[in-house]
Amino acid sequence: MGISVSILVVLVVVLAPLLRKWIVEYDRFITETEGRRIDFWGRIVLAIAFFISLFFVKDSSDETTIKWFLIIFYTIFAAFQFIIEWKYLKNTKEFIITLLLWLFVIIYFFVFIL
């Protein structure tokens, strides 16, 4: 699992700017909109929920359980980011990049990691 995750991180780091250059019409960040606080506090709440729910995973020694936990949590986090970007950055199409990266990560995870 270790090397596959490392390759995934490298691919996402390379793929994200390429997609952004190809799809986004102009750069605008969520911190420049009125959604700044919602984004910040939403990420804080999701991070806290992640660490708290990690303690309640039934069998944390089982690798498959942890993988499914990470898939579910990544999906929740990406959905939050997608909604915030869709609502506050509509004209930039930034939300499309989030959706494409989520799709890429999920497909990669199912093909190479699970």
Tens digit of pLDDT at every position of the chain (114 positions): 678 888 999 999 999 999 988 988 777 788 888 999 999 999 999 999 999 998 888 777 788 888 899 999 999 999 999 999 999 988 888 999 999 999 999 999 989 887
**Based on C-alpha coordinates, what's the Rg of the chain?**
16
pLDDT of residue 1: 66
Q: What pTM does this model have? A: 0.85
pLDDT of residue 62: 82
For 36-73, b/e burial (b = at least 16 CB within 10 A) is eebbeebeeeeeeeeeeeeeeeeeeeeeeeeeebebee
* Torsional sign, CA 104, 78, 7, 16: positive
